[in-house]
Amino acid sequence: MTPGKVAIVTAAGRGMGAAIASELAGRGWRVALMSPSKAVEVARELGGVGMQGSVTRAEDLDALVELALRTYGRVDAVVNNTGHPPKGDLLALDDASWQAGLEMLLLNVIRMMRKVTPVMQRQGGGAVVNISSYAAAMPEQSMPVSSVLRAALGSFTRLYAERHAPDGIRMNSVLPGFVDSWPETPEVVARIPMQRFGTTQEIAQTVAFLLSDGSGYITGQSLRVDGGIVKSI
């Protein structure tokens, strides 16, 4: 249990984000949630606070941090979760699609950390988990925006972790494979060595571990939670 600590979770209205929020609340975390849809309702069910907003809007991220501080007076952890960027052919995707992906997958994390890092520095530490994708380690032609920009997120994760380790702030990324919040097909299952989709609960439990004191010596890592689909060492 982690009584009294405060976690911000973005894109927490459904799927992995909602599962992560529920897992953390069950372990004693107080939560501040945001999503374009149901984060307010999820937060109410978990005894936390929530707001409607998008990770692509800097002002919404600022408002979420302020909501957490106004309600709880501190921020101990952040889970930078988001939706899915545009898909399409590598060269057919227009500039707007790439820009939308940049706002959704990388700038959201940078903007959040600009806002929350001074808070964590004043408190003497904190922990951050970025929700990425297995495609950051094994690029897929079917999702070029996600593959490219989530690989960039891995580099940011490493740079941030190195710079702020002396402040007691840890940052890691989780790279989920195919998870049951999306439709399952036999063709995709056949690609996965474990022969099944992961569950949102499995992702949530991994995130909770990376935010816990039990992972206190882990930082700057990109942890694949993918059923073995990425074949590289």
Residue 232 in any domain: the answer is: no
pLDDT by 10s per residue, the chain, length 233: 566 899 999 999 999 999 999 999 999 999 999 999 899 999 999 999 999 999 999 999 999 999 999 999 999 999 999 999 999 999 999 999 999 999 999 999 999 999 999 999 999 999 999 999 999 999 999 999 999 999 999 999 999 999 999 999 999 999 999 999 888 999 999 999 999 999 999 999 999 999 999 999 999 999 999 999 999 87
Closest Cα partner for 174 from 103, 138, 226, 126? Answer: 226
Other Cβ atoms less than 10 A from the Cβ of 51: the count is: 17
CATH number at residue 86: 3.40.50.720
Non-local CB neighbours of 162 within 8 Å, separated by 6+ positions: 220
Residue 60 in any domain: the answer is: yes
- List, in sequence order, the alpha helices (H) in 52-143: 58-72, 95-102, 108-123
Residue 131 in any domain: the answer is: yes
- How far apart CA 9 and CA 106 sit, in angstroms, is 16
Alpha carbon separation from 40 to 34, 109, 126, 214 (Å, rounded): 7, 21, 24, 30
| Range of the structural domain that residue 121 is part of | 6-225
Cα-Cα end-to-end distance for the chain: 33
Residue 233 in any domain: the answer is: no
Residue 231 in any domain: the answer is: no
What's the total number of domains in the chain? 1
The DSSP result for 133-177, as a single string, is -GGGTS--TT-HHHHHHHHHHHHHHHHHHHHHGGGTEEEEEEEE-
Residue 67 in any domain: the answer is: yes
- Containing 204, the helix (H) or strand (E) segment is helix 200-211
Residue 107 in any domain: the answer is: yes
Phi and psi angles of residue 127, each rounded to the nearest 5 degrees, phi first: -140, 145
